[in-house]
A and B are shown apart, each in its own frame.
Chain A
């Protein structure tokens, strides 16, 4: 019965196929058989065999013209494209159908949509294993105040402290970005790169996911001297024409460094400390909290925890940048501008200024540079200031009383 149905379905096609084969074989035999290589002829034989065999084989599906073995590569790849588009269409149609899935952890969400400082909860921190410290034997006792207790030989970090410190650090990042400071996010362990890049992207900051090159701050001219800089205005629009002036300027240094693995970045943190650059660091129970200005006691070995922390700090930076750009729209400039820049058209005037300055005595020049006031002037200023401040205080007292 089945065989009869099958024959009825495919019989006509098989007839058509068999009639077409002699012609194909005739065509293929037209090349001079003597000069066709042995391998080629074997290959040809194989293809001929498959062509001859196919009608006798039961077809895999009713539309077997798609899966014909003798289809050219171009046809095959066209089929793949067609199938892929069909699959996408199907997915769009029926992808949302089915049972409701309860909310669960999806790793990509921490990178695609990181939590903001307002979303920091103890549950989030606990779920991301921020509380796991190290074995008690390798602890750093300076972390005692961040530690909640001991469980199975490992220290447990107090999540209240973590949340409080994380919020404080977020506030710091936000304020620094609001004042157009340069925030550098550093995470040099394997797998931290995406979190670091994402945080820098959100905060319009800078990222480092490779080794910190020792001396990038203390010997910056040698190491970062070739890296390009640009001049921007308060709305972050690049202003052209300053290339020559940018050439000889000192290299830039960050205003705030966020270090996600302080243990491996001793050199970086040391350089920051030497140059009075404040730092934020994720301090596990084996790290030294005095290496950083603003410690965040948390588990630095968990990528998930690092992603949460980097995301929160990145979002905080984003808030700060938004506030700064809003202020720029109102015409306020919240940072001190770059010194010594001359507008591209005004070089002659600037040159005249400098020549006038050179006519002054060296002492006066130095005073101009450093803003030093003569002692006599200072005395009068101090008197005046004290007088003024006293008046202000008396005013305040009056108001209070």
Chain B
């Protein structure tokens, strides 16, 4: 047994010594001069005039493919028996974890193949228009890249998103659980509609609270049903706001909906200037009013009382006189 093994290895050595070229790099073979690139004369298949070899050899670097496999020689069937532990070790081999290993982006390609196979499977299910499909916030490419830790190309990711959007338009009553589960992986953690604004409640004393901000001012307003009395920081509206315009804008939410004589307002404002405080009160009163009467929302929106005005003073920049103003240009 051992003798035969020895004999085989020795014969391999002899072969190696006898034919050294066989084990050399196949690029060094001297076949090149013989390949004159002329068709055989017997079968004239070319319609183009033949050119000298030195003209046709320009192009990419030439190489010769690996030699054919010699299956007879490589029979490495190692079927000797040993202890159970040795049996396990000699049968172990290392393979890629994914069939997409050689694409260098195995997770992404596996995801893509899985999703396209899923789409083929459910392609005949009825769909709804894209506008009516449930709103989904998909992961951005950066989030996805962090998740899989692979350099995914933007274009390829968008192809995958296209499949996901198509899957999302399947009629909700026929949506398979499999698709829902598959889509979950590509959704952001927080979805639109997850965070519902607290609608507020009227407390036991009949008060509704609203908070509003404008510029650097902030205001809290408490609204109770009453006869139209307004107190801001303990003073009446006329005492607190000197300008008529500010008095009007502080209770504009009530005035535009003709509720001025139906509610009492108790407001607390701080920060900022007079205009900011008045307009912060507008928002606070509108929000408190919405707690009492939610149906007023469209009317209040048209009156411009629902949206917070996000404008703030722009910061001053270095090299500028103000936020954007540049110093006067002096020639010298």
Q: Which residues of chain B have C-beta atoms less than 8 A from A200's C-beta?
A: 99
Sample of 17 A–B contacts (CB below 8 Å):
A31-B295, A35-B299, A84-B126, A147-B43, A175-B69, A184-B102, A206-B102, A227-B97, A228-B96, A232-B93, A233-B88, A252-B94, A278-B65, A292-B65, A337-B90, A385-B6, A389-B7
Shortest Cβ distance from B77 into A: residue: A334
Give Cα distance in the complex from A37 to B77, angstroms.
Answer: 84
User: Is B173 engaged at the interface, CB distance under 8 Å to the other chain?
Assistant: yes
Shortest Cβ distance from B10 into A: residue: A385
Q: Which residues of chain A have C-beta atoms less than 8 A from B76's C-beta?
A: 179, 334-336
User: Is B193 engaged at the interface, CB distance under 8 Å to the other chain?
Assistant: no
Q: Which residues of chain A have C-beta atoms less than 8 A from B101's C-beta?
A: 206, 224, 227, 229, 252
Give Cα distance in the complex from A313 to B27, angstroms.
Answer: 28
Of B92, B100, B109, the most chain A CB neighbours within 10 A belong to B92
Against A, the Cβ 8 Å flags (1 = close, 0 = not) of B32-64 are 000101111001011110000000000011111
Of B66, B102, B125, B296, the most chain A CB neighbours within 10 A belong to B102
Q: How far is the CB of A295 from chain B (nearest CB, A)?
A: 9
User: Is B78 engaged at the interface, CB distance under 8 Å to the other chain?
Assistant: yes
User: Is B172 engaged at the interface, CB distance under 8 Å to the other chain?
Assistant: yes
Q: Which residues of chain B have C-beta atoms less than 8 A from A343's C-beta?
A: 85, 88-89
Q: Which residues of chain A have C-beta atoms less than 8 A from B71's C-beta?
A: 175
Shortest Cβ distance from B50 into A: residue: A141
Shortest Cβ distance from B11 into A: residue: A385
B139-154 interface with A by 8 A CB criterion: 149-150
How many residues of B sit at the interface, in one of the four size bands?
Answer: 35 or more
Contact A206 B91 (CB under 8 A): no
Q: Name A's B-contacting residues (CB within 8 A).
A: 31-32, 34-37, 40, 73, 77-78, 80-81, 84, 136-137, 139, 141-142, 144, 147, 149-150, 153, 155, 172, 175-176, 179-180, 182, 184, 197, 200-201, 205-210, 212-213, 216, 223-224, 226-234, 239, 246, 249, 252, 254, 256, 266, 269-270, 272-279, 290-294, 331-338, 341, 343, 378, 381-382, 384-385, 388-389
Mostly, the A contact residues are mixed
The 5 closest A-B pairs by CB, nearest first: A385-B10, A228-B97, A81-B173, A37-B298, A77-B173
Contact A249 B94 (CB under 8 A): yes
Q: How far is the CB of B108 from chain A (nearest CB, A)?
A: 10
Give Cα distance in the complex from A149 to B43, angstroms.
Answer: 9
Contact B102 A40 (CB under 8 A): no
Q: Which residues of chain A have C-beta atoms less than 8 A from B293's C-beta?
A: 35
Q: How far is the CB of A283 from chain B (nearest CB, A)?
A: 11
User: Is B67 engaged at the interface, CB distance under 8 Å to the other chain?
Assistant: yes
User: Is B30 engaged at the interface, CB distance under 8 Å to the other chain?
Assistant: no
Q: How far is the CB of B67 from chain A (nearest CB, A)?
A: 7
Shortest Cβ distance from A81 into B: residue: B173
Shortest Cβ distance from A149 into B: residue: B45
Give Cα distance in the complex from A207 to B102, angstroms.
Answer: 7
Contact A273 B63 (CB under 8 A): yes
Question: Residue B102 contacts which of A139, A144, A208, A381 (CB distance < 8 angstroms)?
Answer: A208
Contact A35 B69 (CB under 8 A): no
Against A, the Cβ 8 Å flags (1 = close, 0 = not) of B146-188 are 0001100000100000000000000111100000000000000
Give Cα distance in the complex from A184 to B89, angstroms.
Answer: 26
User: Is B328 engaged at the interface, CB distance under 8 Å to the other chain?
Assistant: no
User: Is B323 engaged at the interface, CB distance under 8 Å to the other chain?
Assistant: no
Shortest Cβ distance from A79 into B: residue: B173
User: Is B79 engaged at the interface, CB distance under 8 Å to the other chain?
Assistant: yes
Question: Residue A382 contacts which of B13, B38, B63, B105 (CB distance < 8 angstroms)?
Answer: B13
Q: How far is the CB of A20 from chain B (nearest CB, A)?
A: 25
Contact A176 B27 (CB under 8 A): no
Q: Which residues of chain A have C-beta atoms less than 8 A from B66's C-beta?
A: 272-273, 275-279, 293
Give Cα distance in the complex from A269 to B64, angstroms.
Answer: 9
Give Cα distance in the complex from A292 to B3, angstroms.
Answer: 39
Given contacts A233-B88, A332-B79, 6 further A-B contacts (CB under 8 A): A81-B173, A266-B60, A273-B26, A279-B66, A341-B92, A381-B6
Give Cα distance in the complex from A290 to B48, angstroms.
Answer: 22
Q: Which residues of chain B have C-beta atoms less than 8 A from A207's C-beta?
A: 99-100, 102-103
Q: How far is the CB of B263 from chain A (nearest CB, A)?
A: 15
Give Cα distance in the complex from A144 to B299, angstroms.
Answer: 84
Contact A293 B68 (CB under 8 A): yes
Give Cα distance in the complex from A236 to B94, angstroms.
Answer: 10
Give Cα distance in the complex from A208 to B10, angstroms.
Answer: 41
Question: Residue B35 contacts which of A142, A274, A294 (CB distance < 8 angstroms)?
Answer: A142
Contact B302 A37 (CB under 8 A): yes
Against A, the Cβ 8 Å flags (1 = close, 0 = not) of B211-250 are 0000000000000000000000000000000000000000
Contact A270 B61 (CB under 8 A): yes
Against A, the Cβ 8 Å flags (1 = close, 0 = not) of B11-24 are 10110000000000
Q: Which residues of chain A have C-beta atoms less than 8 A from B150's C-beta?
A: 226
Q: Which residues of chain B have C-beta atoms less than 8 A from A84's C-beta?
A: 125-126, 171, 174
Shortest Cβ distance from B37 into A: residue: A141
Q: How far is the CB of B2 from chain A (nearest CB, A)?
A: 11
Say yes or no: A230-B94 contact (C-beta < 8 A), given A137-B47, A293-B66, A389-B11: yes
Q: How far is the CB of A80 from chain B (nearest CB, A)?
A: 5
Shortest Cβ distance from A270 into B: residue: B63
Against A, the Cβ 8 Å flags (1 = close, 0 = not) of B87-128 are 011111111111111111110010001000000000001101
Q: How far is the CB of B205 from chain A (nearest CB, A)?
A: 25
